[in-house]
Amino acid sequence: MKTQYYNVLLTALAVIILLPSCNDSIHQPDTDERDLIKDNPTFYHFGLDKSIRKYSFTVSEINMATNKPTYYPHDSVKSSIQYPESLYSKGIFVYGTMEETIDIVGDTMTIRQRDYGHNLFAILNNPGTDGASGGFSQQSFFADSGAVYNLYGLTGQHPSKTLLYKIPFVVGDSYTIYLDTITVTGIVDLQTKAGLFAATEIVKQKYISAEYRLIEKLYIVSNIGICRHELRYIEQKKDPVSGKSYSVEQVQRYELTGYK
């Protein structure tokens, strides 16, 4: 599973990452800044047609029993690897950038993503490399007057089988979709690398098993999209030598850096 973290990061999250930008003061963009979709205002929560969004991302992992990074280079190789000590000392083993473009046609939104990053785990397993990797992904969404759906795997006329979020976002609302419990927790002042936003905070919790659970936070601004996205995985593991159980926490974090 470890060798797949980076690929999972770059592909699975294409379902819900829509990152644009802002300026130094709290900003709610005017709806006439672009030619918004006329057919379905539900998409206003997730950005504008033809937007190009840029953001940075990191992935960290900490052994909660020792409070130390899971991936940490041995002293003998520190001077030879091409990876910032300022990152791996905090447990960050992946970092990079991603650019998105959005196309909206009728009731369908398509998001295309290009990413580029570096992976410490790959460097440690392939000495002499810089752990660089890049890729492309694409995901489409469907919207009606009260919800947004993931179109991946959609069959027939049953988009509710892939429901993502109910729209509009109402503070205090809480509902369950399969294993996910989704709660609209409030409106917060969100400081990002691109500026300060008044954003809707949404918390999604997924209980997969006693050994594995996920807590996800999204910060959304209407007509812009998700300005910050954090996924926190907590996994129970067992030491193969001592047989003792311990917890590992992985945090994947995306933050807005710009848009046009």
What confidence tens digit (pLDDT) does each residue in 97-149 have?
999 999 988 888 889 999 999 999 999 998 888 899 999 999 888 888 888 88
Percent of the chain whose pLDDT exceeds 70: 81
Distance in angstroms between the alpha carbons of the first and the last residue of the chain:
36
What confidence score (pLDDT) does residue 29 get? 46
Kindly tell me if the per-residue pLDDT of 190 is higher than 70: yes
Residue bearing tokens 């672009």:
34
Q: Give the type of residue at 184.
A: V
- Separation between Cα atoms, residue 112 and residue 250, nearest integer Å: 25
Q: What's the rounded Cα separation, in Å, for the pair 56 and 254?
A: 6
Domain hosting 186: range is 2-259
Does residue 256 carry a pLDDT above 60? yes
CB 53 within 8 A of CB 21: yes
Question: Residue 56: pLDDT above 90?
Answer: yes
- Out of 4-18, 187-201, 205-219, pick the least confident: 4-18
pLDDT at 38: 52
The pLDDT assigned to 209 comes to 80
Domain total in the chain: 1
The set of long-range contacts for 131-135, using a CB threshold of 8 Å and a minimum separation of 24, is 131/82, 131/83, 133/6, 135/10, 135/11
Neighbouring C-beta atoms of residue 99, cutoff 10 Å: 17
Mean of pLDDT values over 221-246:
88
**pLDDT: which is higher, 2 or 99:** 99
pLDDT top residue among 209 and 197: 197
pLDDT at residue 62 is higher than 70:
yes
What is the average pLDDT across 224-248? 89
For residue 152, what pLDDT band results from cuts at 50, 70 and 90? Answer: low
Determine the pLDDT at residue 213. Answer: 86
Per-residue pLDDT at 18: 39
